[in-house]
């Protein structure tokens, strides 16, 4: 799964969970490590941490950008995994200030910026990490191109996104996703197709597998409507959580599995490891 680096994954995992940042409100848009999330949304926390654990295997002695870093915990994990330097960028000024305050340290920096227009020269980074970002911005293709621009030759791009086939069964690309924070969502083929314009695909992983044939659009919509009546506005993560808890076809393992190992099932999340193409 990795490039051979020996990473103390358990240590990195435990270290990032030591402190609780209860002074920062969790809205469902950006993950925060605090008591509320650990107690009520532990499944979401586990999903995010496992993606960063994968990225940790590629970053030793590298200059790394964590694009759309949110609260900044992932940027810190990447530095703890041996990155020479780790930088987080996010469009939210408040998130960046909190990240710098909580996780800022030598060779870890946080900056406010738009991932589609980053203030870095061509070929600045060895690794760009971008988890659950691309579905939040209007032009995913533009972000993929921008990520390639700021990477060195043969630089690595590690990116994740929800799988529309499972998140919104039967929906088309141009239809607005159920998640209020998402502008669009990819199917697996659409995701791969976009990436191949700029990258060679090294590995494709899935997370949380289920049977698409047994999750019909009508079942999903009925379930979503029932859940929405009980939710606080803008807390869409609860939909995902309750959807999984009530659906026997969803596998609750957070482990990232190679798509090549899975047959007849679809992942809820797609994670790609890519290498920048020679131009």
pLDDT for 84-140, tens place per residue? 999 999 999 999 999 999 999 999 999 999 999 999 999 999 999 999 999 999 999
Q: Which CATH number belongs to the domain containing residue 177 in this structure?
A: 3.40.50.150
Whole-number average pLDDT of the chain: 85
CB 223 within 8 A of CB 174: no
**Range in 12-16, 135-139, 174-178, 246-250 with the lowest mean pLDDT:** 246-250
- 85 falls within a domain: yes
The answer to the question of residue 2 being in a domain is no
In a domain, 167, yes or no: yes
Q: CA separation (Å) from 182 to 106, 147, 154, 164, 228?
A: 34, 20, 30, 11, 17
Q: Would you say residue 267 lies in a domain?
A: yes
Bridge partners of residue 129, in order along the sequence: 66, 158
Tell me the per-residue pLDDT of 5-33, one tens digit each, with 9 for 90 and over: 446 878 898 888 887 787 777 766 678 88
Residue 52 confidence class, pLDDT cut points 50, 70, 90: very high
Q: What is the mean pLDDT of residues 228-242?
A: 51
| Residue predicted with more confidence, 14 or 158 | 158
Mean per-residue pLDDT for 214-233? 51
In this predicted structure, which of 76-85, 225-234, 252-261, 264-273 has the lowest mean pLDDT? 225-234
Contact 168, 216 (CB under 8 A): no
What pLDDT was estimated at residue 17?
Answer: 87
Q: Which residue reads 């020679």 in tokens? A: 278
Q: Is residue 175 part of a domain?
A: yes
Instruction: Let me know if residue 3 belongs to a domain.
Output: no
| Domain housing 267 | 9-276
Residue pair 242/196 in contact (Cβ under 8 Å)? The answer is no
> Is 1 contained in some domain?
no
CA atoms within 13 Å, Cβ hemisphere of 101? 10
pLDDT in the model for residue 225? 53
The b/e string for 74-100 (b: 16+ C-beta within 10 A; e otherwise) is bbbbbbbbbbebbbbbbebeebbebbb
pLDDT, tens digit, 9 for 90 and up, residues 113-127: 999 999 999 999 999
* β-strands 85-90, 63-67 pairing: parallel
Tally of structural domains, the chain: 1
Does residue 4 belong to any structural domain of this protein?
no
């Amino acid at each position: 799964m990795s490039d051979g680096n020996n990473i103390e994954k358990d240590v990195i995992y435990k270290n990032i969970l030591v402190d609780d940042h209860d002074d920062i409100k969790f809205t469902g848009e950006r993950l925060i490590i605090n008591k509320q999330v650990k107690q009520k949304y532990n499944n979401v926390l586990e999903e995010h941490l496992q993606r960063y654990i994968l990225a940790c295997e590629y970053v030793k002695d590298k200059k790394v950008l964590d694009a759309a870093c949110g609260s900044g915990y992932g940027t810190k994990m990447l530095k703890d995994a041996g990155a020479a330097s780790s930088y987080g960028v996010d469009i939210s000024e408040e998130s960046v200030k909190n990240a710098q305050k909580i996780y800022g340290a030598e060779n870890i920096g946080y900056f406010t910026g738009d991932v589609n227009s980053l203030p870095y020269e061509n070929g600045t980074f060895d690794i760009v990490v971008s988890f659950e970002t691309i579905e939040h911005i209007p032009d995913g293709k533009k972000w993929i191109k921008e990520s390639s621009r700021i990477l060195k030759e043969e630089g690595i791009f590690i990116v994740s996104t929800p799988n529309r086939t499972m998140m919104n069964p039967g929906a088309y690309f141009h239809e607005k996703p159920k998640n209020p924070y998402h502008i669009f969502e990819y199917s697996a083929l659409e995701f791969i197709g976009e990436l191949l314009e700029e990258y060679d695909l090294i590995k494709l992983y899935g997370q949380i597998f289920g049977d698409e044939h047994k999750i019909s659009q009508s079942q999903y919509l009925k379930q979503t409507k029932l859940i929405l009546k009980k939710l606080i506005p803008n807390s869409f993560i609860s939909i995902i959580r309750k959807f999984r808890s009530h659906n026997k076809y969803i596998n609750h393992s957070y482990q990232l599995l190679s798509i090549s190992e899975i047959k007849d099932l679809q992942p809820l999340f797609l994670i790609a490891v890519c290498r920048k193409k020679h131009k």
